[in-house]
Amino acid sequence: MNKLFPSIPLVAEEDSAFLRSNNLVGSVVDVVKDKATLGDEVTEDNILKAIDRGGKDAYVFAPEPATYWILDPIDGTRGFVKGSEALYVVGLALVVEGKIVLGVMGCPNWHEDCSDNSIIGVQENQSSRSGIIMVSHVGCGTWTKRLSDILSNESPHTWTRCSVDSCQMVQGARVTIPESQTWKSLPLSGLFDAKTDSENIGEGNILLLSACCGSLCKYLMVASGRASVYIQGKKATSIIKVWDHAVGIICVHEAGGKVTDWEGSSLDFAADQTERRLIFPSGGVLVTNGSLHSKIIGMVSSNSSVL
């Protein structure tokens, strides 16, 4: 990316300080060299410089709208540590003059079974797991392709367009939340009980899906129609990072969904004027299929005392 777009800054979660302090430099360099293609100039110095390009002090922005990349190399670190067992996502977004215009997500352990009971964080059915790439461009929709097809070069022109689901009622909707938060901590819990069994959804219930390991997996679920809603509360002590949301936002928008804070305002990626690393949503983040958005905003507003 640095070779192709050297003038565009990068905002990323990782830098090399962690690797250096934990004696991991050699291991990372070995992996990168093993995966590098012919012709790549791969040295320890080049690798560490590339990692640091998106670090906290790598670039200082001016207050006006900017153009830059946002990268999350591993969203869902706990899933990545589990290896082949759990979901994690690699996400990259391009912001042009303050607006997200391009997004790419990769989820190596995504699997194809779309039944409600199969939407889980730990994938038990090894045979159905093919991985997925999701690509979105402003005005062009959101599209997916199996990683297995890309790696085998099969069906090179076959991409599937994504659409959010058509759920019109909050009751019975498929909802996902951060693994660090409980349903009782969120305002909708004052109106609906959460059930995890799709066979036992009745009046006053929502279906709470388990999809561990990071925020971007939840965006991917909404954009692909597997979930109707992703709701995240903002804790008083929490910091919400741009790389956990940027690529997910354009993928959901281009699939027909909507993303705002709990008051219905768009997330402001320029609020952190000099670093563009933080966002400050009021109440939290709400991601929906669009049809449910205004209804849930109203419910959140009327039940905010639950928080």
Dihedral angle, C-alpha 115, 119, 122, 128, nearest 10 °: 40
What sign results for the dihedral spanned by CA atoms 286, 74, 151, 51? positive
What is the rounded distance in angstroms from the CA atom of residue 43 to the CA atom of residue 126?
A: 36
Q: Which residues are annotated as a binding site for Mg(2+)?
A: 13, 72, 74-75, 244
Are the C-beta atoms of 91 and 248 separated by less than 8 Å? yes
Q: Can you read off the two tokens belonging to residue 248?
A: 């997910």
Are the C-beta atoms of 69 and 93 separated by less than 8 Å? yes
Write the DSSP symbol of residue 101. Answer: E
Are the C-beta atoms of 72 and 247 separated by less than 8 Å? yes
| CA Rg value for the chain | 20
Length of the chain: 307
Helix (H) or strand (E) holding 143: strand 141-146
Classified as helix, coil or strand, 254 is: helix
Among 281, 285, 222, 211, smallest CA distance to 251 is for 222
Among 171, 170, 268, 255, smallest CA distance to 219 is for 255
